[in-house]
Amino acid sequence: MTILFLAAAALAQPATPAQNPHAGHSDHAGHANHAAPATPAAPAAAQAWSVETSTVAQLMANPAAKAVIDRHLPGFSTHPMVGQAGPMTLRQIQGFTQGAITNAHLTAIQTDLAAIPAQ
C-alpha cells in the first residue's frame, strides 16, 4: 500500500489560481460575447457512492463508506499518507498500486458502497 500513497503524493499538485482576463472590469454583460451572470443552479441531486467518482476524501469523511474501504483494504484509512490521496478516486489510485488494489477489490467495494444512502 505504500506505493499507492507515494504515487498519489507525487501526483498531487497545488492548484493554481485561475487568471481573470477581465479583472477590474465591473460590467461584463456590456462587453461583446459576455452574457449576464447566470442564476445559481438548483442543488444537485444526491450522488451515489462510487469507486469511479467519489474521492478518497469523500469516502473517508463518511463513516459507513470508510468502514467499507477498511473492510476490503485493511489499513487504508489509517495509512499516514491517506490525506495525499484525498482528491483521487479509488479507480485512479488503483493504477499506481502495482496490483495491490485489484478489479475484484473495486467490484466488492462498489457493491458495498451501493448499499449506503446517496449523499
Q: What is the pLDDT of residues 3-28, one digit of tens each?
A: 444 344 434 444 444 455 555 555 55
The residues, any chain, with a CB within 8 Å of residue 118's CB and separated by 6 or more, are 46, 47, 48, 49
115 found inside a domain: yes
Confidence of residue 36 (pLDDT cuts 50, 70, 90): low
Higher per-residue pLDDT: 42 or 45: 45
107 found inside a domain: yes
The total domain count for the chain is: 1
Q: Which residue's entry shows cell 488494489? A: 101
Contact at 8 Å (CB) between 108 and 115?
no
Residue-range definition of the domain harbouring residue 80: 1-7+48-119
Coil, strand or helix at 92: helix
Summarize pLDDT for 63-119 with one digit per residue, the tens: 999 999 999 999 999 988 888 999 999 999 999 889 999 999 999 999 999 999 887
43 found inside a domain: no
- Buried (b) or exposed (e) across 9-35, using 16+ Cβ within 10 A? eeeeeeeeeeeeeeeeeeeeeeeeeee
